[in-house]
Structure 1
Amino acid sequence: MGRKKLERFAQNEVNPNVVQPGKEIFETIKGNWKRQQFKNEHPLVVELACGRGEFTVGLGRRYPDKNFVGVDIKGSRIWKGSSQASEEGLENVAFLRTQIERLEESFAPGEVDELWITFPDPRPKDRDEKKRLTSPRFLQLYKQIMHPGGHIHFKTDNTGLFTYTEELFSSRSDIRVKRQTRDFYSSEWKDAHHGIQTRYEKLFMDKGETIKYLEFSFVPD
């Protein structure tokens, strides 16, 4: 392991906006994000597979009246976003180092008010369907932690993954699609994201890919 990576891991250990295994708060944070990490009752917004945290930090800047948590398993990626948030004094931004499959261990039922799934690995092979972040397996997980009526946003450049998601949602009575487009930056909703883009989003757009976007919520039982 390189020295830079070791230095970043060491900084994550002491950075108060990083919640990860080995820290006492990691064991007690479930159900307590607003009170324990953010010390307010503002809405809780979570971004999955946040990478370097560009989007999480960008949202934190734009919406000081909301709390934002970026989730990723890679500590070296989280370090970038957590360091930037600290430098800018964004006390409404934090990062959780964990596997997405284990979200229910860190968020209580109904604790998350809004969720972002931004440019996940499309997992195009049929045998990897269960690993897609919009597969039934993950949808059930989101349904557990989402506040009733909470909004979930999904952005991707991948046509195959978007088509898979559209077809899956059309077969489910517990999902209500609110917004849907295959060319987000030509849609009426483009200004709602305030120009906040991830590194991968910029790369895809430079290659001529259109950005697909879908916003949905779960119908209350």
Structure 2
Amino acid sequence: MGRNKLARFRQNEENKNVVQPGKEIYENIQGGWQDFFGNDQPITVELACGRGEFTVGLGRSHSGRNFIGVDIKGSRIWKGSTMAIAEKLLNVAFLRAQIEQLHTFFAEGEIAELWITFPDPRPKDRDEKRRLTSQRFLDMYETLVAKGGLIHFKTDNTGLYQYTKEILADRPNTRILKDTSDFYASEWKEDHLGIKTRYEKIFSEKGETIKYICFTLSSA
């Protein structure tokens, strides 16, 4: 393991805005995120946040909400964590965990809003259950996201976009509020305040259109 990666791991241990294995809070954070932030603001979660640019951007733009980026790679969330600390963004935190285990870190209805941003498309049929918009994951989100809470999905992958639309169409009580195969040519492009993930920038520069769906899994 490289020296830089080891240094980042040590920094994550010190950074108070990182919840990860080895810290006491990691074992009992479920249902306690507002206590963690020290306020009662609604919680927005970004899945597979990578280096955290999008999570930090949301926190920077919306001071009245709390934001948590989730990723398993400690060397990635180090970037967003240190950025948030440097900018004194007390409403931004990071959770180092497997997304499959999200239900062990959040209580029922604790998440007000969820972002699924540019997940691995997992194109092979045998990997369907690992797609973050599969029925398996949607069942979990339906429990953790408050009733009527918005779920945002963005991807450059046409196959995953079409798959997600089909899956959502099969679920009762699901409402698709926004749907476009070309986000930056849509009426909603200003809603995201120009905040982009690293991968979104890469895909956009390559000329890929960004697909976007905003939906709820249960009625309020």
Shorter chain as normaliser: what TM range?
over 0.9
Q: Is the 8 A contact 2:142 2:218 kept in 1?
A: no
* Matching residue of 1:76: 75
CA offset at residue 88 of structure 1?
0.3
Q: How far apart are the structure 1 equivalents of 2:73 and 2:178?
A: 31
- By how many angstroms is 1:79 displaced? 0.2
Q: Shift of the alpha carbon at 1:200?
A: 0.6
Query: Deviation of residue 171 (structure 1)?
Result: 1.8
Alignment correspondent of 1:91 = 90
Task: Please give the secondary structure, in 2, of the residue aligned with 1:172.
Answer: coil
- Runs of 4 or more, structure 1, over 3 Å off, are none
- State the distance in 2 between where 1:63 and 1:53 align: 15
- Cross-structure match for 1:31: 31
2:6 is matched with 6
**1:100 matched to 2:86:** no
The corresponding residue for 1:203 is 202
Cα deviations across residues 27-54 of structure 1 (Å, max 9, x unaligned)?
121001011x110000100000000000
Partner of 1:21: 21
Which residue of 2 is the match for residue 63 of structure 1? 62
- AA aligned to 1:155 is K
SS of the residue 1:64 aligns to: coil
TM-score w.r.t. the length of structure 2 is 0.98
For residues 160 and 29 of structure 1, the distance between their equivalents in structure 2, rounded to whole angstroms, comes to: 36
> How far does residue 102 in structure 1 lie from its aligned partner after superposition?
0.1
TM-score if structure 1 supplies the norm length? 0.98
- Per-residue deviation at 1:199? 1.0
Residue identity opposite 1:137 in structure 2: R
RMSD in angstroms over aligned alpha carbons?
0.9
Ranges in structure 2 where 5+ consecutive residues have no aligned partner: none
**Aligned-partner SS, 1:65:** coil
Q: Where do 5+ consecutive residues of structure 1 fail to align?
A: none
DSSP 3-state at the match of 1:208 = coil
Alignment partners' CA distance in 2, 1:169 and 1:145: 17
1: CA distance between counterparts of 2:12 and 2:23? Answer: 10
Q: Is the 8 A contact 2:134 2:164 kept in 1?
A: yes
Q: Tell me which residue corresponds to 1:109.
A: 108
Q: Whole-Å Cα distance in 2 between the matches of residues 181 and 155 of structure 1?
A: 10
Give the deviation of 1:219 after TM superposition. Answer: 2.1
- SS across alignment from 1:151: strand
Bigger drift between 199-208 and 53-62 goes to: 199-208
Q: Distance in 2 between matches of 1:13 and 1:181?
A: 40
Q: % of aligned pairs identical?
A: 65
Q: Secondary structure at the match of 1:51?
A: coil
Number of aligned residue pairs: 220
